[in-house]
Amino acid sequence: MKKLHLIGNLKMNLSKQELEPYFKELATVAQNTEQTVGVCVPFVYLPLAQTYLQNSKVLYGAQNMSNQISGAFTGEISASMLQDFGTQLVILGHSERRQLFGETDKMVNQKVLKALEENLTPILCVGETLQQRAEGKTKELVTQQLQAGLQGVNAANLQKMYIAYEPIWAIGTGKSASATDAEQVIDVIKQWLQQNKGATTNVLYGGSLKPSNAQELLRVPNIDGGLIGGASLNATQFADIINTQL
């Protein structure tokens, strides 16, 4: 059976009170599976994640970080600050960061390099809008995002990170990409990585992944796992995805 990597993205959801039982349940789920389980939490809950998850099999992470090392950057959080709380994962270049907070490919690339320097595992997100898909520009856009986001990343470093293919039209809409659509773009991603970096890495699918479509998507041979937003907010639902029978 292939090993899957299933990572939750809580976004700006759940309270401290809700997270305590959530982390406990997730730790138990991870204990009873061969799959890699992770969860990316709001910054302020990283100490709580550390308390509950550091001795578990659950990897925990942040959803963003600064492209700067330190200094006068009000409101920002650096890679080394994440390290101070035992953080292992960091989502970078999520489409919500790009679209709502103006993150550019260049900034995303700087973040990827900083994260790797601090031994964090970046999850670099790429994906097209509905319009770009309709215009037949998906392949071009995704390879552009890889080209820019992975500048200066070599084969060895690439293998220490994840790429998440998240079509923007599928995020939070309840309508995931079809297995065929996801497979086609992930093929493009893996071929590009092999040709340009001399290696590939684990590529996750993200966008309305939920228990009802998990089997169809996760059994696609080149999909190595999922980045799960809405359906990861409930530990039982997330567990159903983690325990998908392929």
Q: Which residues are catalytic?
A: 94, 166
Closest CA to 118 of 130, 110, 107: 110
Any contact of residue 93 with ligand PGA (CB under 6 A)?
no
169 or 192: whose CB is closer to ligand PGA? 169
Any contact of residue 113 with ligand PGA (CB under 6 A)?
no
46 or 209: whose CB is closer to ligand PGA? 209
For residue 21, with 0-12 CB atoms within 10 Å meaning exposed, 13-18 middle and 19 or more buried, which class applies?
exposed
8 or 66: whose CB is closer to ligand PGA? 8
Three-class DSSP category at 195: helix
Q: What is the DSSP string of 69-132?
A: SSSS-TT---HHHHHHTT--EEEES-HHHHHHH---HHHHHHHHHHHHHTT-EEEEEE---HHH
Any contact of residue 127 with ligand PGA (CB under 6 A)?
no
Any contact of residue 21 with ligand PGA (CB under 6 A)?
no
Owner of token pair 């963003």: 64
Any contact of residue 209 with ligand PGA (CB under 6 A)?
yes
Single out the residue of 46, 48, 92, 171 in contact with ligand PGA (rule: CB under 6 A).
Answer: 171
Stretch that binds ligand PGA, among 60-68, 116-124, 155-163, 226-234 (CB under 6 A): 226-234
115 or 177: whose CB is closer to ligand PGA? 177
Stretch that binds ligand PGA, among 115-123, 189-197, 200-208, 237-245 (CB under 6 A): 200-208
For residue 49, with 0-12 CB atoms within 10 Å meaning exposed, 13-18 middle and 19 or more buried, which class applies?
buried
Any contact of residue 163 with ligand PGA (CB under 6 A)?
no
